[in-house]
């Protein structure tokens, strides 16, 4: 497009906008809460952004929830190039780092420089999980599919033969971001095991 | 579910979380930017939330962009009950108000009272379009499908025989929220007309 108003910055921002629309076509393993179809990354990002707004009181006091929301909206953009990695596929997770860094270079690089830097820093903060904001964001990112699996009688857990012990490692990540959500998640795991929807190894 | 940790507030918040997942199944008229399929409300909400982060400099100075993002994540929740209304279907738009208010009562009402109030106020602010935040949010809500129609050689404009004059009324709404985006949108309309993808009445 060669549209003048707004100049080069707006032009670059629109190119970025057109590019990130592709996140709607990156399909995750887990399904919607009713099991009707698999979820895409864009609607997943909306969903956990909403969770941050609604479950924010379960983050440590002082957590900047606006920053958590921003981080969650951005956190999966690299998957436009790198694809979604199933959290229980350890080999794929290990190989993913370099792919995602390259994706971040290309995708955030479409933006004017200081904007690219700001959005990339949000993504890196999410990945590094050092701040309370990043730990809470990651907790929500793990919590949502766990809720879906719990609601769909096992969902991807049964489909991919994931064990309760593996799921409990994710519960730890939730707990690190939010003790209350961690306790809720642990309870979901117990219930799913007792109902026969999640197997112990 | 009868899960104890976190108590009644968390229980109510999880019920709300399960309910709003349905937004992923509310289908809009417009397609993705590549025309491959129609868009759903959840991924649309994510998308314009991202646009607020990326195009924020084109809002009036002092606009609270975190509030714009929050408003955009929430703005379509009432459509879980009320359904999506095609912006160019005037009769449907007029009938929509009462349906949406009832939907807001039910859906936000699932949350603890003060949270219900806070989220409902965000939605009402968006609807009333009195604050710079609401006007900018509405501008993005109109801008995104216009971009999609422009990119897909007419998209829903040709499909539903929308005229350039009708689209220009939406351009005004964009202009009210952001003069720069309004100018860009006007230019898209001109280009679409000159390419034969949008008809004058």
pLDDT in tens, A54-108: 999 999 999 999 999 999 999 999 999 999 888 888 888 878 899 999 999 999 9
Phi, psi of A141 (to 5 degrees): -65, -30
CA distances from B1 to A74, B10, B12, B14 (A): 31, 11, 11, 9
A3 and B40: CB-CB below 8 Å?
no
CB pairs under 8 A between A and B: 150
The pLDDT tens digits of the residues spanning B11-45 come to 999 999 999 999 999 999 999 999 999 999 999 99
The pLDDT value recorded for residue B1 is 46
Q: At what angle do helices A7-20 and A90-108 cross, to 10 degrees?
A: 160
d(CA B131, CA B76): 18
Highest mean pLDDT: which of B10-14, B88-92, B94-98? B10-14
Residue labelled with tokens 């499909």? B159
Residues paired with B31 in a beta bridge: B38
E-only strand ranges, B16-154: 27-31, 38-40
Both tokens assigned to B112: 């603890």
CB contact under 8 A, A187 and B34: no
ipTM of the complex: 0.94
Q: Do A21 and B32 touch (CB under 8 A)?
A: yes
pLDDT at A6: 54
CA distance A101 to chain B (A): 20
For A3-12, what is the mean pLDDT? 75
Residue B110, SS3 per DSSP: coil
Question: d(Cα B87, Cα B155) in Å, to the nearest integer?
Answer: 14
| Record: contact A50-B191, CB cut-off 8 A | no
Nearest to B40 among A43, A147, A151 (CB): A43
Q: How sure is the predictor about A42, in pLDDT bands with cuts at 50, 70 and 90?
A: very high
The residues with which A27 forms a beta bridge, in sequence order, are A40
Kindly indicate whether the domain formed by B11-194 is annotated with CATH number 3.30.565.10: no
| Contact at CB, B24 and A47, closer than 8 angstroms | yes
Q: Give the lowest-confidence range in B73-77, B96-100, B181-185.
A: B96-100
Phi-psi domain of A68 (left: phi exceeds 0; alpha: psi -120 through 50; beta: other)? alpha
Residues 6+ positions from B121 with CB-CB distance below 8 Å: none
- Determine whether the interchain pair A6/B181 forms a contact, defined as Cβ–Cβ distance below 8 Å: yes
Q: How far is CA B55 from the centre of its chain?
A: 16
Test the A interface: residue of B46, B152, B194, B197 with most A CBs within 10 Å: B46
Instruction: Provide, rounded to the nearest whole percent, the portion of chain A with pLDDT above 90.
Output: 86
Cβ <8 Å between A45 and B46: yes
CA distance A39 to chain B (A): 9
Nearest CA in chain B to A26: B43
- Going from N- to C-terminal start, the domains of chain A cover 11-194
- Across the interface, of B10, B51, B66, the residue whose CB is closest to A180 is B10
- Residue B19, burial from CB neighbour count under 10 angstroms (0-12, 13-18, 19+): middle
């Amino acid at each position: 497009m060669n549209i003048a108003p707004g100049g080069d910055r707006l032009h670059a921002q629109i190119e970025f906008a057109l590019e990130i629309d592709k996140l709607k076509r990156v399909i995750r393993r887990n399904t919607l809460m009713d099991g009707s179809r698999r979820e895409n990354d864009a609607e997943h990002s909306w969903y956990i952004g909403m969770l941050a707004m609604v479950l924010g009181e379960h983050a440590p006091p002082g957590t900047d929830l606006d920053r958590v929301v921003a981080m969650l909206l951005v956190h999966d953009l690299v998957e436009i190039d790198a694809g979604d990695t199933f959290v229980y596929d350890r080999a794929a997770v290990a190989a993913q780092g370099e792919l995602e860094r390259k994706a971040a270079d290309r995708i955030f690089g479409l933006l004017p420089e200081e904007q690219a830097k700001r959005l990339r820093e949000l993504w890196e903060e999410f990945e590094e999980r050092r701040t309370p904001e990043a730990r809470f964001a990651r907790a929500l990112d793990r919590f949502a599919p766990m809720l879906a699996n719990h609601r769909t009688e096992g969902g991807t857990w049964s489909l991919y033969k994931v064990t309760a012990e593996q799921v409990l490692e994710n519960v730890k990540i939730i707990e690190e971001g939010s003790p209350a959500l961690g306790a809720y998640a642990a309870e979901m795991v117990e219930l799913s095991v007792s109902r026969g929807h999640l197997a112990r190894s």
